[in-house]
Amino acid sequence: MPELPEVETVRRGLQPVLEGARIEKVDLRRKDLRFPLPPDMARLLEGRTIRSVGRRAKYLLVEAEDAPLLICHLGMSGSFRIESGEGVLTPGVFHRERSVDRPHDHVVFGLTTYAGEAARVVFNDPRRFGFMLFADADGSHPMLASLGVEPTGNSLGGALLAELFRGRAAPLKAALLDQGAIAGLGNIYVCEALWRAGLSPRRAAGTLASASGGPTLRAERLAAAIRAVIAEAIEAGGSSLRDYTHVDGSLGYFQHRFSVYDREGEPCPKPGCSGIVNRIVQSGRSTFFCPACQR
């Protein structure tokens, strides 16, 4: 899936079409994805005007007038695509003259955009690990409530990282994937951030705190690496792996810049390092790292 940078890229692609658009029709092609779709989803959204398209961690948040907040998660293989009357909404490889259904189109939003044009926004998800849910009336939801700090902006620093990981025996890889600590990192960017910081994915997370509990140089390095890799990936428009595409159908570029992810057996790209990228399995997931420069 889509990790945070990909979800942010999707959000930015959806925003100009969705904001100010009136939802004419919500077509639920099946009654569940990972979880049951809200049975009253169509009734509660049809006729409403979308106010904003937000994001929290890997969740998209669609706010419409007089409707509960719609929480969308792309899971591993979920994607949105936009189909307008002209076929092409933004430059990209997606060209078609009219709307055509594809396998695994599960939810279709029929819209009238703010500019008054008809459009469809289609949620497609082969694996169906994605989901859509309504938040409570106050916009809260248990899935959102338990999320940790966003790795964007400047809120994530060495001190916070050390505090979050203090006393934790879990390997850094697992600790960074914990959405309750830092929200939005996934398998790829955790591998990349650890490589940038020169830290082993097997190192105990608690070793980022000093004896007094304060930050260490390692914690500062890792926090900076996380912020940088996420910011660069967003800037690049997310990555593109297998079934991930932008909402306009074009592909992301960030995968060209992966340093270790999916590079098992290749030389470590760090200047002066003669290590070879290794693949190990941690908590059932692949970890790619350089044993020579990541300690």
Partner DNA sequence: ACATAGACCTGTTGGC
Partner DNA sequence: TGCCAACAGGTCTATG
Mask for 260-279, x = binds DNA (CB under 7 A): --------------------
Using CB under 7 A as the binding rule, whether residue 51 contacts DNA is answered as no
Using CB under 7 A as the binding rule, whether residue 81 contacts DNA is answered as no
Using CB under 7 A as the binding rule, whether residue 103 contacts DNA is answered as yes
Binding piece for DNA, criterion CB under 7 A, among 94-102, 114-122, 124-132, 149-157: 124-132
Backbone angles phi, psi at 148, to 5 degrees: -90, -155
Q: To the nearest 10°, the Cα dihedral for 271, 274, 277, 283? A: -100
Is 3 part of the annotated catalytic residue set?
yes
The DSSP secondary-structure symbol of 36 reads B
Contacts of 12 (CB under 8 A, 6+ apart): none
Using CB under 7 A as the binding rule, whether residue 160 contacts DNA is answered as no
Among 48, 168, 203, 246, binds DNA (CB under 7 A): 168
Q: Is 202 helix (H, G, I), strand (E, B) or coil?
A: coil
State the Rg of the chain over Cα: 20
Site for DNA in 233-252 (CB under 7 A): 239-244
Among 26, 37, 72, 75, binds DNA (CB under 7 A): 75
**Residue 294: CA count within 13 A, CB half-sphere:** 29
Using CB under 7 A as the binding rule, whether residue 170 contacts DNA is answered as yes
CA distances from 225 to 33, 100, 255 (A): 35, 42, 17
Is 19 part of the annotated catalytic residue set?
no
Interacting residues toward DNA by CB under 7 A: 1-3, 6, 34, 57-58, 73, 75-77, 103-104, 126-129, 143, 146, 167-171, 174-175, 177, 179, 185-188, 205, 239-244, 283-286
